[in-house]
Amino acid sequence: MTVTERPWAEQAPPVQDAPPYRPRVAELPSDERPRERLLRLGPQALSSTELLAILLRIGSAREGVLELAGRLLRDHHGLRGLASADMATVSAVHGLGAAKASTIAAAFELGRRLALEGDVPRPRVSSPADIARLLQGELELLQQEELRLLTLDTKHQLLASTMLYRGSLNSAPARVAEVFREAVRRNAAAVAVAHNHPSGDPTPSADDVALTRALVAAGELLDIAVLDHVVFGHGRYVSLRERRLGFE
């Protein structure tokens, strides 16, 4: 061994680059903090990360609120993915918990309700394509099966979109009385139902057809028309009415 050589155990470990330092909100100049920027410039000037950070208010011991908000959006592939995530999944994210997850869910729900009110004409449901425009973007991303109810007025304009059941990966138990309870409460003239198949295949199951048949029969008794039952998969959907399944 030459004098310049050192045993492996004595060699210095390789130098690793330190992660880039990201200042926390409290360390930013006051005019660069999300809340102050919103007050000065309006919400439209802020990024989605900044708006979400305002909702979250604080981060965690290991990351600031802006980092937390950015990670949340990245992990859920943007706002649409975050909006479709269930409460348990969001609550389990490090740095969140039930309180912050509830705040996020409330913000998305307010946005959905805003889209249904005011001077903007309410969407009209007259075909499976109309149901797809309302629900496909959200339902096809879900990892659990959900049953949605669209309640409609006499002109088949949308009164409300309601999530009735969230099931396991392969079932969404439904009771006909629960489906119509919301319709009666809103004085609806018609309804449409939809659910997703997390497998990605929208082919209706025997249970889907049986539920449709029971809904149609109950609707006739209550004088509430069942317009359709649509099943969503990944990028595709099937209308049970078009296939005459349960609408015999």
Instruction: Give percent helix, percent strand, percent coil of the chain, each to the nearest 5.
Output: 45, 15, 40
Measured CA to CA in angstroms, residue 238 lies from 113, 130, 194, 195, 244 at distances of 26, 13, 10, 10, 11
Q: Which DSSP category does 159 fall into?
A: E
pLDDT, tens only, 144-192: 898 999 999 999 999 988 888 887 545 445 578 888 988 888 889 999 9
Token pair of 84, please?
């479709």
What's the number of domains the chain is made of?
A: 2
Same structural domain, 75 and 169: no
Cβ atoms 169, 120 nearer than 8 A: no
DSSP H or E stretch at residue 234: none
Question: Rounded to 5 degrees, what angle do the CA atoms 118, 122, 123 make?
Answer: 150
Amino acid sitting at position 205? S
**Alpha carbons 231 and 203: distance in angstroms, whole number:** 7
Identify each DSSP E strand in 186-241 by its residue range. 190-196, 225-232, 237-239
> For 209-221, what is the mean pLDDT?
93
> For 195-208, what is the mean pLDDT?
93
pLDDT value of residue 20: 53
pLDDT value of residue 122: 81
pLDDT value of residue 169: 43
Among 2-11, 116-125, 139-148, 204-213, the minimum mean pLDDT is found in 2-11
Evaluate if residue 8 carries a pLDDT over 50. Answer: no
Phi and psi, residue 109, nearest 5° = -65, -40
Report the CATH number at residue 40.
1.10.150
Report the CATH number at residue 143.
3.40.140.10
pLDDT, tens only, 100-157: 989 998 998 888 777 666 655 788 999 999 999 999 988 888 888 989 999 999 999 9
- Domain stop point among 116, 151, 167: 116
Same structural domain, 135 and 111: no
CB-based contacts of 234, cutoff 8 Å, min separation 6: 140, 200
- Domain stop point among 116, 143, 168: 116
Evaluate if residue 208 carries a pLDDT over 90. Answer: yes
Domain that holds residue 73: 25-116
Token pair of 169, please?
């990966």
> For 46-69, what is the mean pLDDT?
87
pLDDT value of residue 118: 60
Cβ atoms 192, 136 nearer than 8 A: no
